């Protein structure tokens, strides 16, 4: 006895959905999706008429609206002629429609999609209506947000590379100063071993040279004998590698912290950089300030990375991190 080959066929009738795509005002768009299953293969045919060809291209879609988020199978574009008619078909394995890994029986919505994410035609299997458009719009919103996050992450990574160059330049400058003045000290008195290998004031000179073209601001705070500079995040014709940024902080627990601090500094477009001097004019420690209100929302990482103190000045305020460049530790 010969087994009968399995075969099934059904239609999803289209109704006009989003308006404005009819070729004539008294003839709304119509059509159907025909689904034929035979021996493990599915042939999906979309037929449409009365669609404005100039508002295309039109994409044929099957949707499993029972899922949240819904599963969308974009089959391809429908070929429309100048009379607003078109018929196009696609063939897939019935258990993997348009590379979704989804069986044909799971799809309960068929629709025609435009580039503006509008639906001139749509239809559903059965009489029960599902709120598939709202689910689909939520999915598109999530995908858009994800793309925006990926874009920001890519931008932050590029910024990170630029600021990493600055960190290397600073370390190289300090290394050269150490080498030069270590020789001088050795020649003067071999018995003297200073606690700092950099001659007093020389480390400050490195920073002053970097900061010379930036805006110095007067900020009255509890930190005495301190100078402050305002560091804008975007400055044309300025080499980022010479910008005193968070990457100067080298600490095992703070790998490239400046990538995430951009979330807070972008609000104002700048941050503050302060130098606290000792009695001899050398750097005692440096201070980073991020403008914000005295509340947890504006405090970077709730203080976990060193921004634990809020300082008020004039009619503003900022969260500050105090850093010792001699020891590489946050105070």
Say how many domains are in the chain. Answer: 2
The tens digit of pLDDT for each residue in 271-318 reads 898 999 988 888 888 888 889 899 888 888 888 778 889 998 878 899
Residues 168 and 316 in one domain: yes
Is the same domain home to 189 and 278? Answer: yes
In a domain, 261, yes or no: yes
Residue 1 forms part of a structural domain: no
Does residue 303 sit in the same domain as residue 253? Answer: yes
Is 58 contained in some domain? yes
Answer whether residue 12 is part of any domain: yes
Please indicate, yes or no, if residue 210 is contained in any of the structural domains. Answer: yes
pLDDT digits (tens, 9 = 90+) for 185-235: 555 555 444 444 444 477 788 788 878 888 899 888 888 889 999 888 776
pLDDT in tens, 160-176: 666 666 667 666 766 66
Query: pTM for the full model?
Result: 0.44
Domain-located, residue 137: no
**Domain end point (choices 101, 128, 155):** 128
Tell me the C-alpha to C-alpha distance, in Å, between residue 295 and each of 62, 99, 303: 48, 49, 11
- Statement to judge: residues 245 and 165 lie in one domain: yes
Domain of 283? Answer: 146-330
Q: Are residues 180 and 307 located together in one domain of the fold?
A: yes
- CATH number for the domain spanning 21: value is 2.60.40.200
The chain-wide mean pLDDT, for the chain, equals 78
Same domain for 169 and 303, yes or no, is yes
pLDDT at 158 over 70: no
Is there a domain that residue 136 lies in?
no
- pLDDT, average across residues 91-111: 92
Mean pLDDT within 92-112: 92
- Whether residues 119 and 174 share a domain: the answer is no
From 74, 93, 128, give the residue that closes a domain: 128
Same domain as 175, residue 118: no
């Amino acid at each position: 006895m010969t087994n009968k080959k399995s075969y099934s066929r059904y239609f999803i009738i289209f109704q006009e959905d989003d308006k404005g795509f009819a070729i004539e005002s008294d003839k709304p768009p119509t059509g159907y999706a025909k689904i034929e299953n035979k021996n493990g293969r599915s042939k999906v045919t979309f037929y449409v008429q009365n669609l404005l060809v100039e508002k295309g291209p039109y994409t044929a879609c099957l949707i499993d609206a029972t899922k949240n988020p819904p599963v969308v199978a974009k089959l391809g574009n429908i070929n429309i002629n100048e009379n607003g008619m078109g018929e196009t078909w696609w063939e897939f394995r019935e258990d993997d429609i348009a590379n979704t890994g989804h069986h044909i029986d799971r799809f309960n919505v068929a629709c025609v999609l435009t580039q503006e994410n509008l639906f001139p035609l749509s239809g559903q299997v059965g009489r029960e209506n599902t709120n598939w458009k709202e689910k689909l719009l939520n999915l598109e919103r999530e995908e858009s947000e994800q793309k925006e996050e990926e874009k920001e992450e890519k931008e932050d990574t590029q910024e990170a590379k630029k600021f990493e160059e600055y960190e290397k330049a600073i370390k190289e400058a300090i290394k050269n100063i150490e080498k030069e003045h270590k020789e001088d000290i050795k020649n003067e008195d071999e018995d003297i071993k200073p606690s700092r290998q950099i001659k007093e004031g020389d480390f400050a000179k490195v920073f002053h040279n970097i900061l010379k073209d930036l805006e110095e601001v007067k900020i009255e705070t509890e930190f005495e004998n301190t100078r402050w500079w305002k560091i804008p995040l975007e400055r044309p014709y300025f080499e980022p590698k010479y910008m005193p940024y968070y990457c100067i902080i080298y600490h095992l627990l703070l790998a490239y912290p400046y990538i995430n601090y951009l979330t807070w500094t972008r609000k104002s477009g700048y941050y503050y950089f302060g130098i606290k001097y000792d009695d001899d004019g050398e750097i005692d420690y440096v201070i980073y300030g991020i403008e914000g209100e005295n509340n947890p929302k504006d405090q970077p990482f709730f203080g976990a990375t060193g921004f634990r103190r809020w300082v008020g000045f004039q009619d503003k305020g900022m969260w500050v991190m105090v850093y010792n460049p001699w020891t590489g530790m946050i105070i």
